[in-house]
Amino acid sequence: NVLILDFGSQYTQLIARRVRELNIYCEIYPYNNLPEDISSFRAVILSGSPFSVRSEEAPHPDLSEIKGKIPTLAVCYGAQYLAHFGGGNVAPSNTREYGRANLSYVKDGEVFFESIHEGSQVWMSHSDTIKELPTGGVRIASTHDVANAAYRIEGEETYAIQFHPEVYHSTDGKQLLENFLVKIAGVEQSWTPDNFVDMTVAELKEKVGKEKVVLGLSGGVDSTVAAVLLNKAIGNQLHCIFVNNGLLRKNEFQSVLDQYEGMGLNVKGVDASARFLDALAGISDPEEKRKTIGRVFIEVFDDESHKIEDAKWLGQGTIYPDVIESISVNGPSATIKSHHNVGGLPDFMKLKVVEPLRMLFKDEVRRVGASMGIDPELLGRHPFPGPGLAIRILGDITPEKVSILQEVDSVFINGLKSWGLYDSVWQAGAILLPVNSVGVMGDERTYEKCVALRAVESTDGMTADWVHLPYDFLQKMSNEIINKVKGVNRVVYDISSKPPATIEWE
Ligand code: XMP
């Protein structure tokens, strides 16, 4: 019930996440594609933008249905937009207005600033500044360099701030959002995982009726939570397929399958390892590997879904960041689009699509999963790439290399768990290098494989840094790997950040 209007700022998603953290539901819409029933929203937040309001190409949406009618919070560009087109004056700033600043003046008695005081740190990121407020504007806060750091419009529930409350460095940002949304706009804080589950189960029942849904489980958090939700709604009308592509972690296929069955899911495990490994034989190019795995997966999934008579729906674990990307101001990024010739689509792709998590962020998916009683260990699993170990074996892939890497990976991951380090790492794994090096074991010269260990911290995989794992731990891992895994005589640790490196080596 809160609308966030996106003007293309890199922080728009962050606004949505902060609002959701307050247990308030919100949706992002691009400024050039407004929802039809705007009056049903209880509050509106206008985002920042990379543009200057004075530029010809800048977003200039018609806000006549919003401003003065629905409580509105305008952030950064939004604040400048209201000033520029409301009788004020926006001009380039004389001083740099990026980064840390502190409120030097806060007007007394403003509900908007309740529990926020002079000195509070805020984060600025703008090159224009509001020289004169719009008609009816009342200054309610300043910083040392920015006189009009916040204003409101007299007689309206319209508030505007030059700084970014959504970023972590604006210390009272969440309080400010709460003041605006709860105290001023009167929005209820009822967006909780339990409510989401109740609401979604009812919707799914209604939508799917008595029809059958096919869903591919990957062992990851999203597809699992989507399946459990659907299972709650439609029980055995849900048919899950879990494919072993032969590139999973050691024992993962069986243990995850057992776990799924234990959760009461109607799941069929399909071991297609040989089909994948045959198709991959001799391929070294990373993109070629990905394409091959994608193609074989579609073939296997198509074969299996044909065996389910009368399936009408395809269930998917799509989450909100994917949805936002596809509808964003900047449009979907070219890389995630795959162009299918409709006539040539596999049959399962002609099914109607049901995506119960399409409005959730990743942390919300975990909370919803927890509220349905899914094992915390499953919910806390590190991300694992779809092509699996294929992109961690540099060069061509053979069954023998897969099995060496599975052993190494298993020592490393179990080590992280038993040393209590697993949960402080965002993602970890091992890479099998196409390099042999000389070693000595007993009195024998060896000439065997080298593996790299990788452990990173990150929040979304977009940027990442290597984790400073304790030397004692690394020593223990190196020892255990070389002693236990036949064919490996050297272990190195990857100390590259992303950027400029990436998390995976391929
Ligand atoms: P990179 O290597 O791009 O990885 O820094 C970022 C995140 O994406 C995962 N990743 C993939 N996931 N298919 C996937 O499903 C892929 O082809 C793929 N490539 C990378 C990677 O594991 C990390 O979490």
Q: Give the model confidence (pLDDT) of 291-317 as tens digits.
A: 999 999 999 999 999 999 999 999 999
Report the pLDDT value the prediction gives residue 340, as an integer from 0 to 100. Answer: 38
Q: Please give the C-alpha separations between residue 234 and each of 48, 209, 221, 408, in angstroms, as whole numbers.
A: 42, 8, 20, 41
pLDDT tens for each residue of 172-207: 999 999 999 999 999 999 999 999 999 999 999 999
Backbone φ/ψ region at 18: left (φ over 0), alpha (ψ -120 to 50), beta: alpha
Ligand 1 centroid distance, CA of 504 (Å): 6
Q: Is the peptide bond before 434 cis (omega within 30 degrees of 0)?
A: no
Report the pLDDT value the prediction gives residue 335, as an integer from 0 to 100. Answer: 38
Show Cβ contacts of residue 111 under 8 Å, excluding neighbours closer than 6 positions.
179, 183, 184
Report the pLDDT value the prediction gives residue 331, as an integer from 0 to 100. Answer: 56
pLDDT tens for each residue of 442-459: 889 999 999 999 999 998
Q: Which residue in the list 97, 126, 157, 166 is annotated as catalytic?
A: 166
What's the whole-number average pLDDT of the chain? Answer: 93
Amino acid identity at 9:
S
Atom of ligand 1 nearest to the CA of 290: 17
Q: What residues flank ligand 1, with Cβ below 6 Å?
A: 290, 383, 385-387, 427, 461, 498, 502-504
Mean of pLDDT values over 284-288 = 96
Report the pLDDT value the prediction gives residue 325, as an integer from 0 to 100. Answer: 73
Rounded percentage of the chain residues whose pLDDT exceeds 70? 96
76 is catalytic: yes
Structure tokens at 117: 């005081």
Report the pLDDT value the prediction gives residue 320, as an integer from 0 to 100. Answer: 87
Residue 94 pLDDT grade (very low, low, confident, very high; cuts 50, 70, 90): confident
Number of H helices, E strands in the chain: 13, 18
CB count in 10 Å sphere of residue 441: 11
Ligand 1 centroid distance, CA of 497 (Å): 15
Which backbone phi and psi does 345 adopt, to 5 degrees?
A: -65, 140
Report helix angle 193-208 to 221-234, nearest 10. Answer: 60
pLDDT exceeds cutoff 50 at 1: yes
Residue 339 pLDDT grade (very low, low, confident, very high; cuts 50, 70, 90): very low
The C-alpha atoms of residue 423 and residue 417 are separated, in whole angstroms, by: 8
Q: Out of 139-148, 289-298, 341-350, 367-376, which region has the weakest mean confidence (pLDDT)?
A: 341-350
Q: Which residue in the list 26, 164, 178, 407 is annotated as catalytic?
A: 164
Atom of ligand 1 nearest to the CA of 498: 5
The C-alpha atoms of residue 410 and residue 394 are separated, in whole angstroms, by: 18
Report the pLDDT value the prediction gives residue 460, as an integer from 0 to 100. Answer: 80
The C-alpha atoms of residue 41 and residue 431 are separated, in whole angstroms, by: 49
pLDDT exceeds cutoff 60 at 343: no
pLDDT exceeds cutoff 50 at 241: yes
pLDDT exceeds cutoff 70 at 72: yes
Residue 126 pLDDT grade (very low, low, confident, very high; cuts 50, 70, 90): confident
Q: Out of 20-24, 152-156, 166-170, which region has the weakest mean confidence (pLDDT)?
A: 166-170
Atom of ligand 1 nearest to the CA of 458: 24
pLDDT exceeds cutoff 50 at 171: yes
164 is catalytic: yes
Protein residue closest via CA to atom 10 of ligand 1: 385
State the maximum Cα–Cα separation within the chain, in Å, rounded to a whole number: 88
DSSP string, 177-242: HHIIIIIIT-------HHHHHHHHHHHHHHHHTT-EEEEEE-SSHHHHHHHHHHHHHHGGGEEEEE
Report the pLDDT value the prediction gives residue 308, as an integer from 0 to 100. Answer: 95
Report the pLDDT value the prediction gives residue 85, as an integer from 0 to 100. Answer: 94
| CA-based nearest residue to 219, from 382, 359, 362 | 382
Report the pLDDT value the prediction gives residue 333, as an integer from 0 to 100. Answer: 44
Report the pLDDT value the prediction gives residue 97, as an integer from 0 to 100. Answer: 76
Question: Which helix (DSSP H) or strand (DSSP E) does residue 463 occupy?
Answer: none
The C-alpha atoms of residue 491 and residue 439 are separated, in whole angstroms, by: 11
Report the pLDDT value the prediction gives residue 64, as an integer from 0 to 100. Answer: 94
| CA-based nearest residue to 21, from 222, 192, 183, 194 | 192
pLDDT tens for each residue of 465-485: 999 999 999 999 999 999 999
Domains of the chain: 2-184 (3.40.50.880), 193-379 (3.40.50.620), 391-493 (3.30.300.10)
pLDDT exceeds cutoff 80 at 326: no
DSSP string, 32-49: TS--S-GGG-SEEEE---
pLDDT exceeds cutoff 50 at 34: yes
Q: pLDDT: is 405 or 127 the higher one? A: 405
Q: 314, 356 in Cβ contact below 8 A?
A: no
